[in-house]
Structure 1
Amino acid sequence: MKQLLSAIILLVCFFSEAQNFEDSWTGHFSYASVRSISEGNGKIYAASENAIFIYDISTQEIETISTINGLSGESISSLYYSETFGLLFIGYETGLIEVVIDGEENVLTVVDILDKPTIPPNEKNINHFNEYEGNLYIAAEFGISVYDLSALEFGDTYFIGNGGARLNITQTAIDEEFIYASSTNGGLRRAVVENDNLIDFNQWQLVTGGNLIGVQEIAGELFIANSANQILQKNGNTNAFTTVANFGNETIVDFNVKNNLLNITTSTSIQAYNSIFQLQDSVTTLVEFEDTYLSGIALNNAFYIGTLQNGLLQVPFGNIDAFQILPNGPVDNNTFSIDATPGQLWAVFGDVSVTFNPFPLTRRGISNLQGDSWVNITYEELSETLGKDANDLVNVAINPENPSEVYISSFNKGLLRIEDQVPTILYDDSNSPLESFTSELDIRIFGSDYDREGNLWFVQSRIDEALLRLNPSGQFQKVDLSPIIEDPSSELALTELSISREGFVFFGAVDSGVIGYNPQTGDFNKIAREPGNGNLPTNNVRALTFDNNNRLWIGTLQGIRVFFNVGGFFEDDASIESQEIIIEENGIGQEFLFDISITDIEVDGSNNKWISTATSGVFYVSPNAQETLLRFTKDNSPLPSNNVQDIAIDSESGVVYFATNQGLVAYRGSATAPSENLENVRAFPNPVRPGFTGNVTIDGLTEDANIKITDLEGNLVFETTSEGGSVLWDTTAFGRYKVRSGVYFVLITSEDALETKVSKIMIIR
């Protein structure tokens, strides 16, 4: 009896309503990898890695649901749409369940399984949903949970292994009076579905053993799929099964019944059978879309196949021509590096370990956002165009003078040039002075930046002449680092690179800190760890950025530093100590971002800093970092992960892009680069309507412009000087009180007083 009581879990449903961020954020997720499919109400529901898209079969319209709408951003493991109740259930590897209600904007988050302390975290994966008479049977890695669809609450949880042990339940099915449960570690078990005591493991009978992928019922016939890629059919009222299909080395990846058809999807094929296991149709070869299959269903005489790289494919029965269904987005979600210029963004998806090891090699292609539309260049297209292997693409540099020209670093194969979205050349040891540091081709290029003369500077790891310059005419120059690094070939990696206002070239290293090079004199210098030797928290440097005051911001594996005396970096008697940022917290001085792994630092038009981290999301701080203006994490924003690998800012629009290891999102920031004149000054939102609690943004400003805001009677309510191209007004009179409804004049004067502009803002309280 005590064992029975210990096995009983009554899951009381705890709901929270996720926030919708569509007003301030945009999602740029990849939907290319479709893991699970459901259907209902004339629509196909498709789950990618961590987002959903819905395809309306009749209108062919596509709707997406992502972290912008309130999804968690975690890895999705299963999907189910209840047509009876108008509910879309999303199951996750963590045990989290999210519910999207037809016609509702917000997402309901169900954390009962996720937060259950008695179930180990690695045994909470949601494998399958099965609806029966108002209940949703949730097959999970620990057992079965029952969810009441009308009450939106959990009932019992069943641990059905021997002695009440946890079993990895892959699927459930109802056949006549029995509920069947397949498992990977306990075979097939069944119990009477109307039994009120199913929490008692003794009520569950072992039918057959084996490692089972799933169990399905169709027209009174029961089928199981096992890990040997076999399909077996139950023999009448006996517990015996007969093998009816063997797919050999083709791994069964999906097994379901839809619309009186048994659908079996393998990694290379899909087939639909009727209840007596007669083949109705199949697809084995799609010439235009050679891919790995992940999921599939048959509906209305057509297959819908979820693929690894090509989204959802619709293939009519009797046809081998596929129609691709894929929302606009990049090629992958593990976005490693990005760069932006006004109106466009480039993204790459290569990868290196924390020790800068490119192996195992990644082959993921390139994506370019122009306006609202993505253009993708797959790895296969790259290789075919170049005639070479372009893998492990880890850094992007857009030519500021010619935004149609882009250089991309490969941490294995060299330097790739793209012009007008077309890959034109991959520089390596066969067509340039670049040299491999091993007998096998291995050219490890990482950080790069343009100087004011249009030269592209970049670093190559593991060789002596590791600093390189590519001039606008295509000529290379190599700089030997032996004078500053004793053995450059032993340096684990050279990392980011940034160029100062004077044209000094600074780059980071894993072992050697920050190195500076003066191209005019050939002088080197460096700063490293420990006070008196540069004061870096560690020599492992991951981010380098110059702000609008020509100060060098340094991000390391263990915190952040600022170097103020850039102009004197190469002077013998100059102090070349970097400085930590000390902020006051509860009356005590604390080092800002102490021991936090910094991945990038970007400077916006107001000289504020966006700082990304490997574990703690994003910080948006004032010019001196004494004030944190915003903090974005996975818990309070649409960031799908706290591992933010790179940041890029569109200086014209103020949009800030965040590249994470689980997707790309964009925040509509307010800080823009200064304009050359005041012709395009605007204020938004305008009018300010009742209920608005944010700031009014005034942009299109010149640098150091004076901005005054007055009421109709000429009373001054706000005054400031722009640092970039925009300023914010909180609609108060110098922070004392909210101003009343009415029209307010914005009076703008350029720094030299030669240009003025008057604008208006309407406030409605």
Structure 2
Amino acid sequence: MQDDINLGLMKRLSAAIIIFLTGCLAGAQIPVGAWRDHISYIRTTHVAVAGDIVYASAGAGITVYNKDDRSLSKLSRVHGLSDVDISSMRWAEEKGVLVIGYANGNVDLVAENRIINIPDIMRSNVAGSKRINNITIAGSLAYLSCNFGAVVLDLDRHEIRDTYFFGGAGARLSINDMEFDGEFIYAATSSGLYRASVDAPNLLDFSYWENLSFLPGNTRIYLSVALFEGSLYAVSMSRPGNYQCFRITGESFEQFGSPSSTPLGVRVSGGHLAMFNNDRLFLYGQGNTLVREIDDYGYWGLAVRDVEVDSEGEIWVADRSHGLIRVRGDNFRILVPPGPYSNRVFSIKSYPGRTYITAGGRDAAHTNLWQRGEYTFFSEESYSFNIDWDIHDILFVKEHPSDPEIKYVASWGYGLTEYREGNLYARYNEGNSTLRSIIPGDNFIRIGGMAFDKDNNLWVTNSGVPDLVSVLRNDGSWLSFPYGGITNHSQAGRIIINRHGHKWMLLPRGGGLFVFDADPYSEDRSADLYRRLSIVDEDNRRISNEVFSIAEDHNGNIWVGTNIGVVVYYIPERVFDEGSFPARRIVVEGARDEERGYLLNNETVTAIAVDGANRKWFGTEKSGAFLVSSDGRDQIYHFTTSNSPLLSNSVTDISVDPASGEVFIGTSAGTVSFRGKATESPGSFRDVYAFPNPVRESYDGPVTITGLVKNSIVKITDISGNLIYETVSLGGQAVWDGLNVRGQRVSTGIYLIFVSSPDGMQSHVTKLMFIH
């Protein structure tokens, strides 16, 4: 069974298809309704040379390099791939097909201008892991080495031909690699090296497969196998860190390479045998003569995972630490499309034209993941990443409101770090701040959240200690607040400051909410207002105190994400009044009465973001991302891996660029973005323009008019004044589909765009050229 994706016909992929087919990396904003990925192409594991095109897989995507025009492009779910977590890849020369295997058993075939998905293994009822470890091409067949056995894929018919299960008495061995020598089929397995005659009457019968018991440790793990100059080369692992390569000729064998070479794999390509590991690449030619040894790329060490040699003798390396490497003589060139350093995402924060993605984390028990101190900065279509090797688990990045070159980085265990113009300025700990360590005498300081108030004071939650909150005042001094005893809860999470100056703080792991109002310049706590909130309904029944996300909308309402959906506080300024302070659950209508229910009922809502039209974006733990109307009652979008390029249905965070409306969605597999219709309004008509302009005959997407005041009235006419289209902006932006009132694409010509504020006090006119 197959799912055939015709790239030329998929409108949601049209912008990305141009990237893939032309081999160019776009350097401009994407249209409204389009997607793009923000994934890392550094950690490459497989390389395939297809004539003038070189492919290198990197987990969630593939680097595509064109040797003719020297262009780099990307191939990911945004461009039509069906999945993420690529575990194997090979080029089938005879059929002109790139075969891609995934860790979940899914398979894609990339051929000319289409991608064919073969999900049979993924959808099968095979128990346990379905990971495709390697792919061996034999004419029109692809042999897939899987964790449960071997699968033979017919590249002509796009279907599974056979499945071989290895192991006696019902046991199943993992297959790591396969090879052919014309007489035998060899399989490197998790318990020895096996072979079977190509003429065996039934390869499905395991009794026809023979373990090469003459090899030492014949039940050890075999990782890789390759045929070169009549001998078989096999890499085995007796224990972690102890690898050997054997050269096998007939029934005899010998260890190949020096004992210190510890090979991870072997590969035959371009008339050479490549043997590689984390430190070196060895290339052998005729007569097993060592013709090249590479131990660095000039400045960097190696982490080789795959190698190919092309017809011109150039060496192409998939390097786990550096990306795709081209080796031409003594020259080394790293070929990596722009993107983050890694695909880990904890939080995303967007400012106008600038977005930060943090790569730290903590587990469900709020213990450290020990990820390197890393965040990525995306602006003006380019990426830069900051790696601080002295800290781990960066959770949040905030810019100073008056100077974006001053950045504050919060970590889970390493306190707060301040950077100025890219340089380390201060690392705040027990010695120079009121932040406190969870380990007495150490500086293991866990920051759960931070937010600036209107006076540019930075409020920081300090988890696990009695003084749950500290503030870095705008004069550089610090003050702490002993709220741990008041909350009777040791965990402190994200914090927001609303329009009334009240601080709303999440108390993770069942603590509900804590709201307070305190003077950052007074050490007298007697005037503080505070309240711990158990999230209850109008009848004072608990809804849930498991809280994960929080946001204030344009009307001042507070939206909170829990493990059973969303609640809203509609009059948050009354939070300190006596008596009950209930939250509201939004009732949404279904197609039938019995389908009425609460907004995102029983979903764990991990992220909330508000766009320029006051609409709400929600990220969930298992069900993808949602966009709902400003009141939450109408669903506008529900994006999942089934209907969008979303990389995973487990969403970690969402942020909206207020200037462009681009929605950044972080998931457990990486980040993608979607260009939304709504932007924040500038308050007056500034820099009003339409794009694309001109609209060329090859473009069939929407036209965007931006720079508008909130709820602008937009009218589009032809040059004679005939009304073509009318709408109201979403925040500071309006979208036109390019159709006239009869639903037809408009003719070639100049069109006038008249915009006015809702009260008619402001107006503006701009022009647009349409080429049809």
TM-score normalised to structure 1 length: 0.88
Q: CA deviation at 1:316?
A: 5.2
Gaps (5+ residues) in structure 2? 16-33, 520-526
Cα distance in structure 2, aligned partners of 1:127 and 1:753: 64
Determine the structure 2 residue equivalent to 1:435: 436
Cα distance in structure 2, aligned partners of 1:260 and 1:669: 51
Determine the structure 1 residue equivalent to 2:115: 107
Does residue 1:116 correspond to 2:128, yes or no?
no
Determine the structure 2 residue equivalent to 1:37: 47
Q: Residue type of the partner of 1:65? A: L
**Bigger shift: 451-460 or 432-441?**
432-441
Q: Is the Cα–Cα contact under 8 Å of residues 14 and 112 in structure 1 kept in the other structure?
A: no
**Bigger shift: 596-605 or 696-705?**
696-705
Q: CA deviation at 1:756?
A: 1.5
Q: Is the Cα–Cα contact under 8 Å of residues 139 and 172 in structure 1 kept in the other structure?
A: yes
Q: Residue type of the partner of 1:372? A: E
Q: How does 1:604-643 map to 2 (within 5 A)?
A: 604-643=611-650
Q: Is the Cα–Cα contact under 8 Å of residues 188 and 212 in structure 1 kept in the other structure?
A: no
Q: How does 1:35-434 map to 2 (within 5 A)?
A: 35-57=45-67, 59-102=69-112, 104=113, 106-117=114-125, 119-122=126-129, 124-162=130-168, 166-192=172-198, 194=199, 197-208=202-213, 209-210=218-219, 211-228=221-238, 229-235=243-249, 237=250, 239-245=251-257, 247=259, 252-274=263-285, 276-285=287-296, 288-290=299-301, 292-298=303-309, 303-315=315-327, 322-358=332-368, 360-378=369-387, 382-383=388-389, 389-434=390-435
Q: Is the Cα–Cα contact under 8 Å of residues 435 and 470 in structure 2 kept in the other structure?
A: no
Q: CA deviation at 1:199?
A: 3.2
SS in 1 for 2:654: strand
Determine the structure 2 residue equivalent to 1:599: 606
Q: CA deviation at 1:251?
A: 5.3
Does residue 1:758 correspond to 2:765, yes or no?
yes
Q: CA deviation at 1:760?
A: 5.7
Determine the structure 1 residue equivalent to 2:522: none
Cα distance in structure 2, aligned partners of 1:740 and 1:277: 66
Does residue 1:583 correspond to 2:592, yes or no?
no
Q: Is the Cα–Cα contact under 8 Å of residues 213 and 224 in structure 1 kept in the other structure?
A: yes
What CA deviation, in whole Å up to 9, does each residue of 1:661-705 have, x standing for no partner?
Answer: 211111111101112322433345677889998765433211343
Cα distance in structure 1, aligned partners of 2:664 and 2:609: 11
Gap change, CA 1:198 and 1:762, over 3 Å in 2: same
Cα distance in structure 1, aligned partners of 2:52 and 2:639: 38
Q: Residue type of the partner of 1:622? A: S
Gap change, CA 1:40 and 1:752, over 3 Å in 2: closer
**Bigger shift: 683-692 or 338-347?**
683-692
Aligned residues between the structures: 728
Q: Is the Cα–Cα contact under 8 Å of residues 191 and 205 in structure 1 kept in the other structure?
A: no
Q: Is the Cα–Cα contact under 8 Å of residues 5 and 80 in structure 2 kept in the other structure?
A: no
Does residue 1:21 correspond to 2:30, yes or no?
no
Determine the structure 2 residue equivalent to 1:386: none
Gap change, CA 1:213 and 1:710, over 3 Å in 2: closer
**Bigger shift: 691-700 or 197-206?**
691-700
Determine the structure 2 residue equivalent to 1:3: none
Cα distance in structure 1, aligned partners of 2:540 and 2:418: 36
**Bigger shift: 156-165 or 367-376?**
156-165
Between the aligned residues of both structures, percent identity stands at 27
**Bigger shift: 27-36 or 202-211?**
202-211
Gap change, CA 1:708 and 1:38, over 3 Å in 2: closer
Q: Is the Cα–Cα contact under 8 Å of residues 605 and 671 in structure 1 kept in the other structure?
A: yes
Q: Is the Cα–Cα contact under 8 Å of residues 581 and 592 in structure 1 kept in the other structure?
A: yes
Gap change, CA 1:643 and 1:251, over 3 Å in 2: farther
Does residue 1:477 correspond to 2:485, yes or no?
no
**Bigger shift: 745-754 or 225-234?**
745-754
- Superposed CA RMSD in Å reads 3.0
SS in 2 for 1:375: strand
What CA deviation, in whole Å up to 9, does each residue of 1:348-404 have, x standing for no partner?
Answer: 10011122211x4111522111211111223xxx24xxxxx2211011222333222
Cα distance in structure 1, aligned partners of 2:540 and 2:452: 26
Cα distance in structure 2, aligned partners of 1:451 and 1:322: 50
Gap change, CA 1:247 and 1:287, over 3 Å in 2: farther
Gap change, CA 1:628 and 1:732, over 3 Å in 2: farther
**Bigger shift: 424-433 or 751-760?**
751-760
Does residue 1:516 correspond to 2:515, yes or no?
yes
SS in 2 for 1:256: strand
Gap change, CA 1:226 and 1:276, over 3 Å in 2: farther
What CA deviation, in whole Å up to 9, does each residue of 1:605-657 have, x standing for no partner?
Answer: 11111111111111011000111111111111111111111112111111111
Q: Residue type of the partner of 1:133? A: G
SS in 1 for 2:578: coil
Q: Residue type of the partner of 1:610? A: W
What CA deviation, in whole Å up to 9, does each residue of 1:51-91 have, x standing for no partner?
Answer: 11123345442221011111234211111012332211111
Cα distance in structure 1, aligned partners of 2:117 and 2:127: 20
Cα distance in structure 2, aligned partners of 1:207 and 1:162: 15
Q: CA deviation at 1:137?
A: 2.2
Determine the structure 2 residue equivalent to 1:496: 494
TM-score normalised to structure 2 length: 0.87
Gap change, CA 1:322 and 1:718, over 3 Å in 2: closer
Q: Is the Cα–Cα contact under 8 Å of residues 655 and 663 in structure 2 kept in the other structure?
A: yes
Gap change, CA 1:641 and 1:14, over 3 Å in 2: closer
Gaps (5+ residues) in structure 1? 1-11, 384-388
Q: Residue type of the partner of 2:511? A: S
What CA deviation, in whole Å up to 9, does each residue of 1:691-733 have, x standing for no partner?
Answer: 9987654332113434456678878787665462124456789
Q: Is the Cα–Cα contact under 8 Å of residues 143 and 169 in structure 1 kept in the other structure?
A: yes
